[in-house]
Amino acid sequence: MFQLEPGQRIHFIGIGGAGLSAIARILLERGYAVSGSDLRGGSLNAALARDGARVYVGHDGRYVEGADIVLATSAAQPDHVEIAAAKALDIPVFKRKDFMPAILHRSDTIAIAGAHGKTTTTSMVIHILQTAGKDPSFIVGGTMANTGRNAGLGTGPSFVIEADEYDNMFHGLNPNLAVVTNVEHDHPDFFTTREQMRAAFDAFVASLADDGALVACADDETARDIAEGRRAIGGKVISYGIENPAADWRATDLSFSDDVVKASVLQRGRRRAVLQLKIPGAHNVLNALAALAVADERGVSPDQGAAALNSFQSTGRRFEIRGEREGVLVVDDYAHHPTEIRVNIEAARLRYPERQIWAVWQPHTYSRIQTFWSDFVSAFDGADQVMVTPIYAAREAPLEGVTGAALAKAISSRRPATYSPTFDDVAETLSRAPRAPAVVLIFSAGDANLIADKFLAAGT
């Protein structure tokens, strides 16, 4: 493992991304010189520039000159102009997996992994520890509503980090305490099979410190199986769940009313707390159980943890209520996998049973859509109306026959669905079509959150 040295300048290729912007924030707060480039601007770039980073819009080999280390986004190809320039100048180039050990050196690393729920669970852990005065350092894959930040340097020994499986980033974390919320095939451009993704999670858990603990969801078959493997070699395992009666931590007596989800929290059969969440869905009760188990391992009692979660607010773009216009409520969510879409529609049904549910979906990456086509088509069965936009390509080239229009046609065999070629078209339709009261769920891991701005602004 290499070590960072005082006075070094670290340059980021793709500094505006959720992962790299958070690392840049930590390094800035540790006193390092930070520069970076990105294809576009944005709030994360602006915040880093305001606090002292040198941020460029666009990419140019000249930007790496004078840097001691270059950290590149997973989306950057080996022939990227700035990677090529760095190599020509003998500047070492890292990806996150190989860079993170230097960031986390000597920290009590708490890493939260999972195909779904890791951003919210990470944010919950951070919020509990902060409320309890533990002041952890943290990196999370979204902007926390409670802090307005996606990263921060704390004075406590713990470093809470969202463990991203893409590009095997989480193999560089070597945690002292780890969470696995669930395991389901995703990122088919990197994990071509479900077995490859499972193997990546196995390796993540194997990287736990010998005396570390694994917190795993007993309601998820694969997470449960991984936990059994850890237990078989004598490792400490803490399980949580709603459905599985054998779980160490359980939530019972769930109720949904007055925009609050309530549940009793049991620890090994003993009632320890009452949970009241202002974010909807049974899946968020599971996330809260994982956070309470982690906090308990770090000296925060269940009743303290539950009390802290009473004031927890959703992380940016995780069932984030953006506003309401003429009886039409707009919710922005980062969901980009069929399971995530399905559970968020179910959560909206529970929270707003009297409202129409409109789903606006910006499909994300061609490989994901092609791999999970049939699952996506059925994921919207709980919605009253579906609107599909063009696919957000991200790092990929188009695939023949994989289009937003084709998806809308396939969904329309099950639910009313239309294709909308532009965001303006979506916003205009939302201005006249939904029958109030209604909820519009915007599902996007790209830029379709702009639809909320357009729709809400038109009503002012």
Active centre residues (catalytic): 118-119, 162
Q: Estimate to the nearest angstrom the gap between the alpha carbon of 389 and the chain centroid.
A: 22
Query: Minimal CA–CA distance to 361: which of 412, 420, 402, 315?
Result: 420
**Residues 243, 214, 293, CA angle at the centre, nearest 5°?**
60
Q: Estimate to the nearest angstrom the gap between the alpha carbon of 71 and the chain centroid.
A: 21
DSSP, res 170: G
Q: Edge-to-edge strand order for the sheet containing 270-277?
A: 151-152, 137-139, 158-162, 108-113, 177-180, 213-217, 236-241, 249-257, 260-267, 270-277
Report in angstroms the alpha-carbon separations of 392 from 193, 239, 444. Answer: 22, 37, 9
Q: What are phi and psi of 202, to 5 degrees?
A: -60, -45
- For residues 458 and 424, the answer to whether their CB atoms sit within 8 Å is no
Q: From the CB of residue 107, how many other CB atoms can be counted at a distance below 10 Å? A: 17
Q: How far apart are CA 319 and CA 278, in angstroms?
A: 11
Strands (E), 92-241: 93-94, 108-113, 137-139, 151-152, 158-162, 177-180, 213-217, 236-241
Q: How far apart are CA 200 and CA 169, in angstroms?
A: 10
Reduced to 3 states (helix: H, G, I; strand: E, B; else coil), residue 430 is helix
Report in angstroms the alpha-carbon separations of 349 from 27, 140, 281, 381, 384. Answer: 42, 28, 9, 12, 11
Q: From the CB of residue 363, how many other CB atoms can be counted at a distance below 10 Å? A: 25
One-letter amino acid at 84 equals A
Q: State the DSSP H helix or E strand holding residue 292, giving kind and residue range, or none if neither.
A: helix 282-297
Side-chain half-sphere CA neighbours of 410 within 13 A: 18
One-letter amino acid at 93 equals V
